[in-house]
Chains A and B, each alone.
Chain A
Amino acid sequence: MRGEPAVRLRHLRHAYGRTRALDGLSLDIPAGCMVGLVGPDGVGKSTLLGLIAGAKALQDGGIEVLGGDIGAAAWRDEICPRIAFMPQGLGKNLYPDLTVEENIVFFSRLFGQSRAEGAARVAALTRDVGLAPFVKRACHQLSGGMKQKLGLCCALIHDPDLLILDEPTTGVDPLSRRQFWELVERMRRRAIREMSVVVATAYMEEAEKFDFLIVMNAGKILATGAPKDILARTGAASVEEAFVALLPEGGLAKKLEIPPRSDDGGAPVIVARGLTKRFGDFVAVDQVDLAIRRGEIFGFVGSNGCGKTTTMKMLTGLLDASAGEALLFGRSIEAGGLAARRRVGYMSQGFSLYSELTVLQNLELHGRLFGFPSREARDRIETLLDRFELKNHGDVLAAGLPLGLRQRLSLAVALVHKPDLLILDEPTSGVDPVARDAFWALLIELSRKEGVTIFISTHFMNEAARCDRISLMDSGKILATGTPSELTRLKNGKDLEEAFIAFLEEAGAARPLAETAPTPVQQPAPAKNPRFSPRRMMAYTIREILELSRDPIRLSYAIFGPALLLLVLGFGITTDVDSLTYAALDRDNSYFSRAYLSELRGSAYFIEQKPIADAKDLVSRLKGGDVSATIEIPPGFGRDILRRRPTEVSVWIDGAMPFRAETIHGYLQSMHQQFLADPAIHGLPPAPDPPADIETRFRYNQSFDSIYAMVPGAIALQLALIPAILMALAIVREKELGSITNLYVTPVTRLEFLLGKQLPYIILAFVDFLIMFLMALYIFKVPLKGGFGVLALGSLVYAAASTGYGMVVSAFTRTQIAALFGTAILTILPASMFSGLSTPASAITGMGRIMGRLFPMTYYLPISVGAFTKGLHFADLAGYVAILALFFPALVAVSFLLLRKQER
């Protein structure tokens, strides 16, 4: 340890709303060694690491990293290429659809490395960590341990001086965990410059091997120093015990006493024979045999993804077995039916209660669903609240509970109906050691006093050691079953963990790290950090294209969605009014009245319905929507005409749809004029000629057929909606899934990030345009009368503007679903109402006018309609293209300002 610390914390505070995550930390973290940050989940470890990495914005206090203030943007930019950060969660900052190689190359590009350098580093790193045989495998197909190795490769791509790892081994099997630490150690020794490593971990036993420990709880530091100093100071045998001892209410915890189990010799409660589950080619569970007796605590131990959860789901009947059988209480799940389910309590992995309900409501709901009478349920819930010490939290929303309490609530819910069997899937992950002991005390009580059978899975070895019997599981297979001490003895291990590793090695899961020649020393990455790097931008573009090509739903939606909607809307939305239904009430029934009605009958617009009987019938037929218009000819109509006496035809039009009513009105008026001018009506003087001719010229669309206006309009609408939605989703996805961290902690700039992600969607939107253009020509037979050049150019500029619009919306949203609806709502209204699609832009007033003016479609619509139907060319439409071109830089600028380079 040298004099200059790697990181220096000064009165550091950080809060989320009213929750204090960090409460006044001051500390020097030494450079050039392995520093462990230990403590259970939710004590502020991740916040602290995020702050050190510059991923989170500082709130209060100061941090110096590598000799400068990390709060200063200039310093962050300067040292960013010297830091590597691997966030919590298996493969959180990796891209599941990309292969191992593509993931590493992506990071290589983010650090501005040349293609050759990137390729060399990928080869060297994958060989070093043993991933070389899997470079073409998609990240989501990797096991937890392999994902973490890949994460390490990505972190080490640029030879960092400071490596920050946030719980890199949580949920990874013991063997992979051990290999991971060996790897880190080896990389550290091999590094060109001295590398400092700061690691957070929830596995207290791992921490003993580090050089320096920081023990944290509830936003405060409990102790710092070398592990052996801390152990010596607390007089504890392990870091876990030391942690408990260091707690304010601490003191060495009393050992959990497990009374021996008395076997009643009854039939086993759970039996599995040859239980197998296949998902496609992948065998998740392979020939599992189990027999668990009444009152037994049976442990299921293995890494994430080894098949524990799948086995449990088959036992509960959530999944059907591909082969083999599972019996509960001696019967198959299906045969047991609802009655069997009443005897089982299940706690799934992760919190699966209704977070939007309160503690009490959750318990009540479950009581109701098990059909308890309300009095009995109330008593039971009282008892459970008491026993789990949840009394004071009854009216708290489950979402607001700390993790330990949530787990207790989950267990309480699983116990509401007094089950004989509990199936608990990793119930204690993320719970601190004290709460974990309390939880176990409950389980032991249930098992020993009430004879409840407990089937529990865990990846904590010290918990496994408390079970009556355990099964060690790996890759869908059970490696061994027995009491913990038997298994340890069988492998002559020091403890259960070593025994498990021995079993894993024996099963061949262990591939000892090949001792490779040291990585050839690379040219250190160029230190200068350019303001705008096309290479970094393209990193995002290439990645987006790769991801899109592997997500069939999103891709087919992007390509065929607009086409499909155009097909439906182009044919369906029409302002042509024809096939109108009408009925007549002819009270005259003379030659003239029949002549009048025959004018209508001859019209292509009208379809006659059966005649109206009387006035009452007229009203009810209009009301029922049976006819859109009625014609009533008064008695004496013909006689009056002959006698030159004034007479009137009475018309009622259904006004439910205003523009249709207006159009019908127009049709009937001209039909009336036609009747008056009809020479077939004998004996009448010809109608006087009008004094002037009014000629109406329908320009651009002589037949006044709405398809020529609607199809170009619908193309504009599709290009406004779908590219914007896809763009917004693409950005918010990164926020929701966590890969946005890569923007925070790598040298990529906000502009590179935005443009890089936008580019593929502009191309997609343009492809959409081409598809819809061809559909317009060949399916809708709408000819292009004007220039293709200006239409194509306008569409390209418009695609940039619409995607930019989605980008701006994405800045305000956090979840994908909100982004989707936000974009849809904010797009559909201005697009369909205010941009000239239904009402010409020149006639819109008020708020609508402003909204329309600020919406790109207002300027694209004249280009689309102009080029298709008005026969216009570049010279006529250049003005619109120019305005449209302004949207792209403006929208990107707004998004740029709204996007943060740090998490709050």
Chain B
Amino acid sequence: MQSLRNIYWLGTKELRSFFRDGVLLGLVIYSFSLAIIAQAQSNSQEVHNASIAYVDEDHSELSARLARAFLPPFFQPARAVAQKDVDRLMDVGAYTFILDIPPHFERDLVGGRRPELQINVDATAMVQAGIGSAYAEQILSDEIAKFLSRQDEPPPAPIGQVVRIAFNPNVVTSWFASVMGVISSTTMLAIILAGAAVVREREHGTVEHLLVMPVTPFEIAMAKIWANSLIIVGAVGLSLLFVVERLLRVPIEGSIPLFLVGALLYLFFATSIGVFLATIARTMPQLGLLYILVAVPLNLLSGANTPLESMPPWLRTIMEASPSTHFVAIAQAILYRGAGFDLVWPRFVATGAIGGIFLALALWRFRAVSTQSRS
């Protein structure tokens, strides 16, 4: 009983300390507001404002129509360039797409001679090049079909394919990026908050003070874990309600409380990692350096930024074991697809179990270090 009370009171102390630390408080506010908005507006996952140019060697009505067919927001207005400049412009990355309309294109087309139209794509601009070239092909063939339909009505396709995108019908990046931003802020902050809380006590000598009292290292570490988890869960909830739903107008399908329960499970893992790192680092800067090495991969490889399926198998196997991966899956399932507990519980169990192992590890290290701390 006294042990629980100690954990409670030490935790309230953590909360007070946190709200007095300007740097960390600022970091949390930034990460859950401005950083989310910046990511939501990045358009990095869609074709947006792509730069395109064309070489018109035909100078026909059709070639002019083709050049005008590329419209915002997907494309910038196409610019005319000379044939001889194409290579140089591609080399310096001035345009991602350059369309080449050959001489006599319209005449050959009308004459049924199947002329060839070429799109040069800078294949080093991965996302935009991949999706954008499909868009460009579609735009060009539609435009050609429209041009020809004056003379020849194409027969309706006998077998159609109706494609609908579930959960995000217009494939808007901000829907995806904002929630994933919340997830990555959660990982990044939970680790550093818990880690910094431990190192701060050590640097200020207060942890010694606690250890000569009837307080165990277990209680100290648990207090840090619950208090910092609570701070982040609060920040996540507020960020989802106000930044994601209100400000960015992203519709949230599922239950936010259910998601927050998942977040709490995940936070036990993330804060444990923080405590663990703090037992390795001697000083705050060392903690920061270690933290970047651990948190950046944990975050970038969780499936929030890039699909897990495409990683090499060895890396994928490792990341499948990471609670950050489960947490991303939980977030996508609940927040986008409106999944209920019946669908996500296996992920909850996995997160809790792996989190529990790390919690035990962190507590064990913390106890070992605390009883043998040199100054």
Contact = CB atoms under 8 A, between A and B. Distances in A.
B16 interface: yes
Interface string A642-658: 00111111111111111
Contact of B117 (A369, A561, A695, A866): A695
A692 B109 contact: yes
Nearest to B12: A365
Q: How many of chain B's residues touch chain A, expressed as a range?
A: 35 or more
A274 B289 CA distance: 41
Interface stretch (B232-240, B270-278, B304-312, B352-360): B304-312
Contacts of B163: 651, 653, 665, 668-669
A357 B128 contact: no
Interface stretch (A155-163, A764-772, A838-846): A838-846
B288 to A, nearest CB: 4
Given A369-B215, A623-B339, A829-B38, A696 B137 contact: yes
A695 B116 contact: yes
Given A658-B45, A833-B38, A848-B42, A879 B161 contact: no
Contacts of A554: 286, 289
A405 B146 CA distance: 86
A620 interface: yes
Given A341-B212, A554-B289, A659-B46, A665 B95 contact: no
B114 A370 contact: no
Given A824-B292, A833-B39, A704 B301 contact: no
Contacts of B261: none
A647 B160 CA distance: 6
B123 A698 contact: yes
A693 B315 contact: no
A589 B126 CA distance: 39
A416 to B, nearest CB: 10
Nearest to A316: B212
A311 interface: no
* Best-buried of B123, B169, B315 by chain A (most CB within 10 Å): B123
Contacts of A693: 114-117
Contact of B140 (A661, A694, A701): A694
Nearest to A701: B123
Contacts, number: 405
A645 B209 CA distance: 83
B351 to A, nearest CB: 14
Interface in A321-363: 338-339, 341-342, 344, 346, 348-357, 361
Contacts of B140: 694
A57 B129 CA distance: 57
A243 to B, nearest CB: 30
B33 to A, nearest CB: 13
A558 B123 CA distance: 32
B209 A353 contact: yes
Interface residues of A, number: 140
A697 B119 contact: yes
Contacts of A623: 333, 337-339, 343
Given A646-B158, A695-B116, A820 B285 contact: yes
Nearest to B147: A691
A662 B131 contact: yes
Interface string B84-117: 0000101111111000000001000100101111
B137 to A, nearest CB: 5
A338 B213 CA distance: 7
A662 B46 contact: yes
Given A338-B214, A694-B137, A842 B123 contact: no
B206 to A, nearest CB: 5
A865 B92 CA distance: 10
A519 to B, nearest CB: 38
Contact of B9 (A368, A648, A700, A877): A368
B127 A573 contact: no
A530 interface: no
Given A624-B339, A655-B169, A872 B91 contact: yes
B42 A579 contact: no
B121 A696 contact: yes
A222 interface: no
A641 to B, nearest CB: 6
Contact of A688 (B2, B154, B167): B154
A658 B119 contact: no
Contact of B306 (A573, A700, A702): A573
A578 B313 CA distance: 12
Interface stretch (A34-42, A117-125, A202-210, A562-570): A562-570
B161 A672 contact: yes
Given A572-B297, A651-B164, A656-B176, A704 B375 contact: no
A693 B215 CA distance: 77
Contacts of B105: 692
Given A357-B13, A574-B306, A660-B307, A620 B343 contact: yes
Interface of A: 279, 309, 313, 316-320, 338-339, 341-342, 344, 346, 348-357, 361, 365-366, 368-371, 397, 553-554, 557, 561, 564-565, 568-569, 571-581, 620, 622-625, 641, 644-663, 665-666, 668-669, 672, 675-676, 684, 688-702, 704, 706, 708-710, 721, 725, 729, 733, 815-818, 820-821, 824-825, 829, 833, 836, 838-846, 848, 862, 865-866, 869-870, 872, 876-877, 879-880
23 contacts: A318-B208, A319-B372, A338-B216, A346-B209, A351-B205, A368-B6, A369-B214, A576-B310, A579-B309, A641-B158, A646-B157, A647-B158, A647-B159, A651-B162, A653-B164, A653-B166, A694-B119, A699-B120, A710-B126, A817-B196, A820-B288, A836-B93, A839-B128
Given A569-B301, A625-B333, A698-B129, 17 more contacts: A573-B305, A579-B310, A580-B309, A625-B332, A649-B162, A655-B167, A659-B127, A693-B115, A695-B119, A697-B121, A704-B123, A818-B23, A836-B125, A843-B50, A843-B128, A866-B93, A876-B88
10 tightest A-B CB contacts, nearest first: A655-B168, A701-B123, A352-B205, A820-B288, A356-B20, A698-B123, A579-B309, A624-B343, A338-B214, A655-B165
